[in-house]
Each structure stands twice: as structure tokens, then as C-alpha cells.
């Protein structure tokens, strides 16, 4: 029996050594799928604790790897056996964490700039599985780890404080920088090759922090944990039995859209934007419905900004709406921005004159 187990173990080890790249990618995908299937709300306590444990394990493995590579740390015989498989653990944890953050960023992304950020993050996630990229070694893992730590605290502080903005963001940056600085001081600052280590550890971490700061102030980073669940243009909104019902004239074949993207207006009609906005439990903040008109002479021009207070906790999102009674015919765009001026959602519609006197049969979208 023991001999069979040893033979099986040797076969598995041999297969791993011959197909290391393939196995690493499979484990990475497994980490991604595992989180995709088990991922709950962004403010779920279990998820937050799980991510913190993953970051702790990754940080520990990264420290050991740097000590082995740069400080000639000699592992025990048992440690050497484990170290043969540490890459699998690292790939699984990075796959899991980066998939979580990519999904959360994607759900909050709206503007093209935010989608570019998502594409860069997804590109890094996939590039980590390319052998040529992996050969760079520690600097790449430091970059990925710093992104994960920054992302974690960028979500954690808004959830903890109940709002987004500069204060939660800077708390995230300072916490992340403090953790990485502490790791450096406790493990590597005394080393005789600390200058060489700086280019592989400190500088990549500093560059990521600087990139996040620039990304925040240029609205490149999506406003996680706020996310649009649904948004539509309506003629009126009624609240019945706890539901918000938006009245529209959308043709049945436009099943993919919410409300009336072609707003055929009669005298007295007002344009109503109804949105369902997700935010964590006990989250209280404000968003702005910014109405832009495509002026024939001046292009897209801001015509109105309506504040809307949001309260978090509801899985399907907080329901709120804003209306406009005075508007020109033509193309309109309503952009929903957070209190720190980051776009969380948008919708376009065209207002035209309806000269008909026929009876209109409104349909309903339920929020």
C-alpha cells in the first residue's frame, strides 16, 4: 500500500515537472473559477476574512522566496519538499484574488477609462501565467501582490466607514504602504544587498502606489464598492408594494434595454431616470445625476446635476430616481457620478416630439 502511494506521488511529481507551465495555468484557472462560483457580496465578512488570509499566506511565501533568492536562506529538508510546490499555491492564490478584484472592479466600471483599467488588470492576471513573464520573478510578484493589497484596502475602508471618497482612498494607500514598508524593514533593510533588493521590491511597490493615486484622481479606478444594478429612462415612476415601477413605451423586441431609449414626448411629459445602485450594508453616501445635452453648436453640455442620497444593504440595490421637466429635443446622456466625481453608470436617450393624440399603453419595469 505504501509502495503504491509512493509510486503515485512520484508520477504526480514527474508530471508536474514535465508540464509545470500547463499545471500552473490550470491551477490559476481553478483559483479564478473557485472564486467566481463562491463569490458573495463585496461586504461579506467571510469573503473579507478569506481575502485577508490569502494575502497573509501570499506575503509569507513572497518573503521566503526573496530570502531564498537574495539572502541564500537554507531551507530544512521538509521545507525543500514543500518548496517544490509553492508555485502552485502562489498561482492559485493570485488567480483567486485577482479574479475577485477584477470582478468587483468590472461591476463598478462604466466609463471607458475604467474599462481600460480593468483590461490592464486582466492583462496582468493572464501575463502572470506566461513563462517569459514569470522569468522576471520577484518584481512581477511584488507588483501583483501590491495591487492585491491596495485593492483589498480600497474596498475595505469604504465598507468600514460607510462612504467613498478621498479619506477612505488615502487610508487604503497609507495602510498598504505601511504594510510593505514594515515587511521591508523587518526582513531586508539590514541586508548587505539592500540596494539591489530595492530595485526588485521597493521600487515596483512604489510605482504601483503612484499609479493607483494617479488612477484615482483621473477617475481611472472604478468607484468600488458602489455599482449600478439597473438604470432606465421612464415617463413616470410609481412605488407599489415596495417595488419601484418605471413606465415606458419600449417596443417588446428591445428586451435588452431598460426603459425608453427613444423618449417620444408630449406636452407635460417629464423625463425620469430610475436606477438601482448597490452599496454595502450601513453605507450612506450621495451620487449625482448629471444631465448632458448634445448641443448642435457646443457639443455635450452639462444642463443639470441632481443629487441623490443612497443607502446600502439591499442585494438588488438602492432604488432612486430624478426627473427633468424642461428639456430640448435631441440627444441626451445621464451620467451617475459618486461624491468623489467617479462615474458609476450612464444611459443615453433621444427626446423627440410626439404629435400623435393616440392613447398610449405604458408598460412597466420593476425595480
Print pLDDT tens along the chain (367 aa): 556 665 665 665 566 556 655 666 666 666 566 666 667 788 888 889 999 999 999 999 988 888 887 777 777 878 777 787 787 788 788 878 887 887 888 788 776 656 677 677 667 666 666 666 656 667 888 888 999 999 999 999 999 999 999 999 999 999 999 988 888 877 776 666 666 677 778 888 999 999 999 999 988 888 989 989 899 999 999 999 889 999 998 877 776 666 678 899 999 999 999 999 999 988 999 999 999 999 999 999 999 999 999 988 888 889 999 999 999 999 999 999 999 999 998 999 999 999 988 899 999 999 9
- The Cα 270–Cα 273 span in angstroms is 10
For the structural domain made of 227-366, what CATH number should be given?
2.60.40.1930
Mode of pairing for the β-strands spanning 262-265 and 343-353? parallel
Look at residues 217, 193, 228 and name the one whose alpha carbon lies nearest to residue 110: 228
- Count of alpha carbons within 13 angstroms of residue 46, beta-carbon side: 5
List, by residue range, all CATH 2.60.40.1930 domains of the chain. 227-366
> Distances in Å between the alpha carbon of 288 and those of 157, 261, 319?
22, 20, 14
**pTM > 0.85: yes or no:** no
- C-alpha cell of 334? 445621464
Amino acid at each position: 500500500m505504501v509502495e503504491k502511494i509512493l509510486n503515485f506521488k512520484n508520477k504526480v511529481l514527474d508530471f508536474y515537472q514535465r508540464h509545470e507551465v500547463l499545471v500552473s495555468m490550470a491551477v490559476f484557472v481553478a483559483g479564478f473559477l473557485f472564486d467566481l462560483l463562491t463569490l458573495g457580496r463585496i461586504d461579506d465578512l467571510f469573503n473579507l476574512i478569506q481575502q485577508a488570509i490569502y494575502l497573509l499566506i501570499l506575503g509569507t511565501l513572497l518573503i521566503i522566496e526573496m530570502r531564498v533568492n537574495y539572502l541564500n536562506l537554507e531551507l530544512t529538508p521538509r521545507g525543500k519538499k514543500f518548496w517544490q510546490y509553492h508555485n502552485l499555491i502562489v498561482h492559485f492564490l493570485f488567480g483567486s484574488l485577482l479574479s475577485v478584484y477584477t470582478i468587483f472592479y468590472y461591476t463598478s466600471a462604466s466609463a471607458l477609462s475604467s474599462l481600460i483599467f480593468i483590461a490592464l488588470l486582466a492583462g496582468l492576471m493572464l501575463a502572470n501565467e506566461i513563462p517569459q513573464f514569470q522569468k522576471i520573478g520577484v518584481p512581477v510578484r511584488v507588483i501583483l501582490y501590491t495591487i492585491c493589497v491596495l485593492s483589498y484596502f480600497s474596498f475595505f475602508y469604504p465598507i468600514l466607514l460607510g462612504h467613498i471618497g478621498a479619506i477612505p482612498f488615502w487610508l487604503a494607500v497609507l495602510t498598504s504602504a505601511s504594510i510593505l514598508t514594515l515587511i521591508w524593514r523587518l526582513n531586508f533593510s539590514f541586508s548587505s544587498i539592500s540596494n539591489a533588493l530595492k530595485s526588485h521590491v521597493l521600487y515596483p511597490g512604489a510605482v504601483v502606489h503612484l499609479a493607483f493615486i494617479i488612477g484615482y484622481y483621473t477617475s481611472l479606478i472604478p468607484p468600488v464598492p458602489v455599482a449600478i444594478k439597473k438604470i432606465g429612462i421612464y415617463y413616470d415612476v410609481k412605488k407599489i408594494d415596495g417595488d419601484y415601477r418605471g413606465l415606458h413605451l419600449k417596443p417588446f423586441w428591445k428586451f435588452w434595454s431598460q426603459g425608453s431609449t427613444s423618449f417620444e414626448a408630449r406636452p407635460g411629459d417629464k423625463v425620469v431616470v430610475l436606477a438601482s445602485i448597490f452599496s454595502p450594508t450601513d453605507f450612506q453616501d450621495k451620487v449625482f445625476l448629471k444631465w448632458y445635452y448634445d448641443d448642435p453648436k457646443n457639443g455635450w453640455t452639462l444642463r443639470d446635476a441632481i443629487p441623490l442620497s443612497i443607502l446600502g444593504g439591499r442585494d438588488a440595490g438602492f432604488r432612486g430616481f430624478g426627473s427633468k421637466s424642461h428639456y430640448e429635443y435631441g440627444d441626451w446622456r445621464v451620467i451617475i457620478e459618486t461624491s468623489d466625481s467617479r462615474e458609476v453608470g450612464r444611459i443615453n436617450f433621444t427626446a423627440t416630439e410626439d404629435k400623435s393624440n393616440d392613447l398610449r399603453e405604458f408598460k412597466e419595469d420593476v425595480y
